[in-house]
Amino acid sequence: MKEMTSAEQREVMLEILEHIDQFCKANDITYFLGFGTLLGAVRHKGFIPWDDDVDVIMDRKNYDKFVSLHQQGDESRYKVFTYKEGCPIAFAKICDEKTLKEEKTSTKCVKGIDVDVFPFDHAPDDDAERNKIFKKVSRYQFFITSKELRYRKGRAFLKNLYLFFAHIVFKSLSTIKLLKKIDDLCRATNAANLNSHTISNLRSYLGPNRFDKEIFDEAVPMEFEGRYFPAPKGYDAFLKEEYGDYMQLPPIEKQVTHHSFKSYWRD
C-alpha cells in the first residue's frame, strides 16, 4: 500500500464532506460545520494550517437519521462507523473505504480517512445539573482513553509511563460497554429537556458545552477550501463559547496537531 501525503488526506476529507452535504440534502437532514472546521472556515476559509481533521455537527434526531439511512444504503465507498461497529469512539465517523488509516489504539477498528460526525443533545439549563451528567460522561471517557491510548514516540515520558500501567489496570473493562453508558447518558438528557434553551455536546474534552438553541435556528453558507457548506447562523456565539477570542492565533508552540496516524491508499 502507498502512504498518503497530507495534501491527499485533506483532499479525501473534502470529498467526504461533499458526500455528507449531498447525502444530507437528498435526505432532508440538517447538519453544520463544527468545532475546528467551523473555526477554520471563519478564520482561514479552509483548514486550520496545523489541523488534520474535519468535524460536522447535528442534533440527535438528525444524527440518528443520518447514521441509520447511511448504514441502510448501498454506499460502496463511504461507510459510517460507531461504537456499535467496534470503534472506540462516542460519536460517528464516515470513512473512505479506498483508504486505510492506522491509529495507535488498543481496539482494532479498520477504517479509512474519515470525517467526525458529532451529535448534540438537549441538556438542562441549570449548570449544576448539566455538570453532574458531564462528570459521569467524563469518568467513563477517562477509562476509555486510559485503556485505548498506546505508547507513542514524542509524547511525554510520564504520560507514556502512565498509559503503560493504565492499560494493564483497565484491560478488563469493555470499551463498547463504556461507550454505551456514555451514549445512554447523553440520550437521556433529551427526554426531559426538549424545551431547554441549552444544546450540549457532553462528550467534549473541554467541558460540558452550553450553546443556546437559537444558534442553530438557521444555516448560512460558509466558504471552506473554495467550496460552501452550512454553518450555524450563530457561528460567532458558538465559536466564542468554544474558543473564546477565536480570531486570535494561538502561540507558535501550540500550533500543532493533536492526532497521530498514518494513512494509505488501498491496493
Question: Parallel, antiparallel, or unpaired: how do β-strands 114-122 and 198-200 relate?
Answer: antiparallel
Inside any domain, residue 266: no
**Does residue 198 lie in a domain region?**
yes
Q: Is residue 8 part of a domain?
A: yes
**What pLDDT, on a 0 to 100 scale, did the predictor assign at position 24?**
98
Domain ranges, residue 152: 2-255
The structural domain count of the chain equals 1
For residue 151, what is its C-alpha cell?
505508547
At 236, the amino acid letter reads D
For the ranges 36-50, 105-119, 156-170, 248-262, the maximum mean pLDDT occurs at 36-50
Residue 162 has pLDDT above 70, yes or no: no
Is there a domain that residue 114 lies in? Answer: yes
> Average pLDDT for residues 120-148, to the nearest whole number?
86
**Nearest partner of 61 among 24, 114, 116, 16, judged by Cα:** 24
Residues 6 or more apart whose CB falls under 8 angstroms from that of 173 comprise: 143, 147
63-72 burial by CB neighbour count: b if 16+ within 10 A, else e? Answer: bebbbebbee
pLDDT of residue 196: 83
The pairs formed by 214-219 with CB atoms below 8 angstroms and a separation of 24 or more are 216/32, 216/59, 216/120, 219/30, 219/32
Give me the chain's average pLDDT, please. Answer: 87
Amino acid at 214: E
Give the confidence band of 22 by pLDDT, cuts at 50, 70, 90. Answer: very high
Q: What is the pLDDT of residues 60-82, one digit of tens each?
A: 999 999 999 999 886 678 999 99
C-alpha cell at 218: 438557521
Q: Which residue bears the cell 470503534?
A: 87
Q: Is 264 contained in some domain? A: no
- Minimum mean pLDDT among 27-41, 66-80, 154-168, 215-229: which range? 154-168
pLDDT tens string 98-119: 999 887 665 666 689 999 999 9
Residue 261 lies in a domain: no
**Beta carbons within 8 Å of 244's beta carbon, 6+ residues apart:** none
pLDDT at position 139 = 87
Evaluate whether residue 260 is within a structural domain: no
User: Is residue 90 predicted with pLDDT exceeding 90?
Assistant: no
pLDDT in tens, 23-44: 999 999 999 999 999 999 999 9
Q: Within a domain: residue 40?
A: yes
In the chain, the N- to C-terminal Cα span, in Å, equals 6
Please report the pLDDT score of residue 45 as a whole number: 97
The pLDDT value given to residue 85: 87
Q: Percent of the chain at pLDDT above 70?
A: 85
